[in-house]
Structure 1
Amino acid sequence: MTTPQTTATDVNQPSLQPAAPTGRRLSLPVLLLVIAGALALTSLVRLITGADGITNVSQMSTALQLAVPIGLAGLGGLWAERAGVVNIGLEGMMILGTWFGAWAGFQWGPWTGVLVGIIGGALGGLLHAIVTVTFNVNHIVSGVAINILALGATRYLAPLAFEGEPGGSAKQSPAVDSLGHFTVPGLSDVLSDLNGQGWFLVSDIAGLLGGLVTNVSWLTLIAVALVPATWWILWRTPFGLRLRSCGENPVAAESLGVNVYKYKYLAVIISGGLAGLGGVFLSLVANPFYLEGQTSGRGYIGLAAMIFGNWMPGGLAIGAGLFGYTDSLNLRGGAANVHALLLLGALLLLAGAIWFAVRKAYVKAAVTVAVGALVFAWYAGTDEVPNQVVSATPYVVTLVVLALSAQRLRMPKADGLPYRKGQGK
């Protein structure tokens, strides 16, 4: 993409470009090679352990369903932080989306529930924008307050709206009509058959693709489309350039005629709407009803997926898929599958040790080998893992992935910093 040329009188196309990341970014061919290598190792582990469930169509379909709300929350965080506003309140905005989506869906139908749930999350985003952008309250404090406020508000509203209704209670809404699902005819059956053959790599790829075309919600299709849409808007339009400039250097953006307050407000409201849509997915697709506590920290995991993805939509999608997959292990043969993945973890740590050794980081290589040996000893010395470990797997993976990827991350320069109009004068 060519850099826009800006004159002193041309403020519609600011020349301010966000600074390039300080670390190396993976090129697309290298990224695809890494993904292919991970799939090959996973296939090898499946053949050795006999844990066919780690890559079957049902597992992948469940993983996709669990990844969508995480990805939507992460997209919400990306919009806000690219404009310079830290949004810890994603969890609360998701909670608002779950309640408002189920309430409106029960009253007027599921698609109305989708719209009202987005509005509910956007209202949370608007509150966050007022507090942080207009009044310059600390972003973390505001986000935590919104999480508490959303939880308290829904606990107060749920008994008023749902008690006395058929199937409703103080903590649960009545059932909501389905948004509908679709399966690609023919292709789904072919991929399912290939997955059942148990071939090296081919069957695993078939299972992955089969999960993307089997029993998929229409809301999932919309959520997946929002990833490239976000990339195009933020990186290929003048609107996106101005918004990102507010997260990199708002003073310079203001000097070029950008209304920084407006773009921050828009970004945080959109952020809340996307988080609200993630909440709607939980209360209308994952479960056809609102249930207190059904977000289960997915807003925070979405924030972790955004950080893992280096504040980029593609990396965020990969992170959401990873966390969704580990979360799906709770639902389908969790203990056996997690035990098999211990071997995968040991192999990945060995690969990481080799990488460190090639780069002459011998201390890191030795530590990685030692950790890999412990993980392999755990795998070899047991036949299964405790259920508590299975439940904790998504959160452990979140911490490990963030720790390993921390060195290559670069957040927007002005992310979380207070800004006042005219402060550069």
Structure 2
Amino acid sequence: MSTVVPEATMPPPPSTPTAAAGRSYRWLLLVLGFLALVSSVRVVSGANEIDSVGTIQAALIATCPILLAALGGVWAERAGIVNIGLEGQMILGTWGAAYFTYYYGPWVGLIGAALLGAVGGILHAIATVTFGVDHIVSGVALNIIGAGAVAFLAEAYFRDLDGGGIKQLTGLETPPKVDIPWLGEAASDLADKHWFMISDFAALIAALTNSISIMVYIVAGLVFFTAWVLWKTTFGLRLRSCGENPQAAETLGVNVYLFKYVAVIVSGVFAGLGGYMLVLVSSSGFVTGQTGGRGYIGLAAMIFGNWRPFGAAGAATMFGYTDAMQLRNADAVHALLLLVAALLLIFTVLRLRKGDRKNAVLFAAVGVAFLAWFLLSDEVPREFAGMTPYVATLLVLALGTQRLRMPAADGKPYRKGEAG
């Protein structure tokens, strides 16, 4: 999957309240620092659309499908199963969302998308866990099967419906939206003043309180749910042990096959919910092929997030933001070059402080290239803007995977009784 640091021989020391408080403080400083950086880029470039209320809402909606796929990847790979089939499971979820929403409404459509994604998870689990098929081969096959099955099902079931066709189904009821008028309007007014940092924070509040889909909040809740289950419960500890050392887990009485099955099925459920987001929140209906590779981008977000839910959320937000920016003001897309340059140069300084000169030089070279592009141009070609999320994916995987650690037994074959 990626170049990783060798696994530590000793487990990390248990977390203490003081250590937890220190981490919370560092995260707060990191968030405030990033907000200050974005605000500085906005002021210098004059591109107020870079973090306007509309841009943030578009970024949140674009982030959610990617984030759900990334969370699905976290569940599967923490149990030792590489899930390249996230894309196919998401495709299956789009059809389930459209079919069940058309007949029963958006909440049953949510269940339908989850069930279709779970079907993809079951197929992947049968192939990889029961029959020991190579995880990559099984995932690629699942992607092909998912795309073909949904194309067939769409033509068979949507062709004669109102708003339907052989490749689409429109006019679907959408999930409710969260709207807090008094807070949203006040925050929007403050955001329009374009004050340093204050207006940027107000724009975020306005985006979360002005007619934003309730699914954004549900997805955020799923991030915390995943972190709690996998890192704070006995079930999560046993599941993660299957991805680190399944032979040792077996000797302790853990049913490794069962935990791997559960993890991969839950992974499919999350990917299916990502398909639901694409059909009923990100767009106005179902169209075949509308995933657009977001399952793969979700997999990249999971890797860049170090196989952890909050890390995956941060990476998915970055990808979702770049995805949303291609549809916004051209000046904002151009200002994004300055933001990327600034981030890369900050990473350069951090690498130098840690004595990592090789990667520091690489970050510096790419950062200077982006800065030169910003200074020597007035706009970004529209064709490149459409490629932004995919370019960001490649850039992150090329520059950001040197210090990542995947689960030790991720992708390795396991047969019951190997522990001897």
* TM-score normalised according to structure 1 size: 0.91
Asked if 2 retains the 8 angstrom alpha-carbon contact of 1:165 and 1:174, the reply is no
Q: Which of the numbers 161, 165, 190 marks the counterpart of 2:161?
A: 165
Q: Which of the numbers 373, 382, 387 marks the counterpart of 1:378?
A: 373
- Note if 1:254 corresponds to 2:253: no
Asked if 2 retains the 8 angstrom alpha-carbon contact of 1:177 and 1:288, the reply is no
| Range with bigger deviation, 204-213 or 252-261 | 204-213
Paired residues for 1:2-21 under 5 Å = 19-20=11-12
Q: Which of the numbers 235, 256, 259 marks the counterpart of 1:263?
A: 259
Cα offset for 1:359? 3.3
Which residue number corresponds to residue 209 of structure 2?
213
Structure 2: distance between partners of 1:118 and 1:364 = 41
Query: Percent of pairs identical after alignment?
Result: 52
Which residue number corresponds to residue 4 of structure 1?
none
- Note if 1:35 corresponds to 2:13: no
Which residue number corresponds to residue 325 of structure 2?
329
Which residue number corresponds to residue 346 of structure 2?
351
Which residue number corresponds to residue 17 of structure 2?
none
Asked if 2 retains the 8 angstrom alpha-carbon contact of 1:308 and 1:316, the reply is yes
- Note if 1:422 corresponds to 2:380: no
- Note if 1:237 corresponds to 2:233: yes
> Which letter does structure 1 place at the counterpart of 2:148?
G
Q: 1:340 to 1:141 in 2, by over 3 A?
A: same
Structure 2: distance between partners of 1:240 and 1:349 = 35
Q: 1:47 to 1:230 in 2, by over 3 A?
A: same
Residue segments in structure 2 that go unaligned for 5+ positions in a row? 1-8, 14-19
Cα offset for 1:212? 2.1
Which residue number corresponds to residue 406 of structure 2?
411
Q: 1:129 to 1:362 in 2, by over 3 A?
A: closer
**Any idea what the Cα deviations from partners look like across 1:117-163, whole Å, max 9, x if unmatched?**
10000000000000000000000000000000000011111111111
> Which letter does structure 1 place at the counterpart of 2:403?
R
Paired residues for 1:291-370 under 5 Å = 291-333=287-329, 335-370=330-365
Which residue number corresponds to residue 97 of structure 2?
101
Q: Which of the numbers 27, 50, 54 marks the counterpart of 1:54?
A: 50
Q: Which of the numbers 221, 224, 227 marks the counterpart of 1:225?
A: 221
| Range with bigger deviation, 73-82 or 359-368 | 359-368
Give the superposed CA RMSD. 1.9
Asked if 1 retains the 8 angstrom alpha-carbon contact of 2:326 and 2:333, the reply is no
- Note if 1:392 corresponds to 2:387: yes
Asked if 2 retains the 8 angstrom alpha-carbon contact of 1:132 and 1:142, the reply is yes
Q: 1:18 to 1:57 in 2, by over 3 A?
A: farther
Structure 1: distance between partners of 2:309 and 2:357 = 33
Query: In structure 2, the residue corresponding to 1:406 is in which secondary structure?
Result: coil
Asked if 2 retains the 8 angstrom alpha-carbon contact of 1:339 and 1:385, the reply is yes
Which residue number corresponds to residue 111 of structure 1?
107
Which residue number corresponds to residue 271 of structure 2?
275
**Any idea what the Cα deviations from partners look like across 1:279-298, whole Å, max 9, x if unmatched?**
01111222232101111111
List structure 1 segments (4+ residues) > 6 angstroms apart after TM superposition: none
Structure 2: distance between partners of 1:396 and 1:299 = 15
Q: 1:164 to 1:410 in 2, by over 3 A?
A: same
Q: 1:321 to 1:376 in 2, by over 3 A?
A: same
Structure 2: distance between partners of 1:66 and 1:323 = 8
Q: 1:221 to 1:385 in 2, by over 3 A?
A: same
| Range with bigger deviation, 40-49 or 125-134 | 40-49
Structure 2: distance between partners of 1:64 and 1:339 = 20
> Which letter does structure 2 place at the counterpart of 1:183?
D
Cα offset for 1:367? 4.1
Asked if 2 retains the 8 angstrom alpha-carbon contact of 1:57 and 1:207, the reply is yes
Q: Which of the numbers 122, 125, 132 marks the counterpart of 2:128?
A: 132
> Which letter does structure 2 place at the counterpart of 1:122?
A
Cα offset for 1:363? 4.6
Cα offset for 1:364? 4.0
* TM-score normalised according to structure 2 size: 0.92
Structure 1: distance between partners of 2:102 and 2:359 = 55
> Which letter does structure 2 place at the counterpart of 1:401?
V
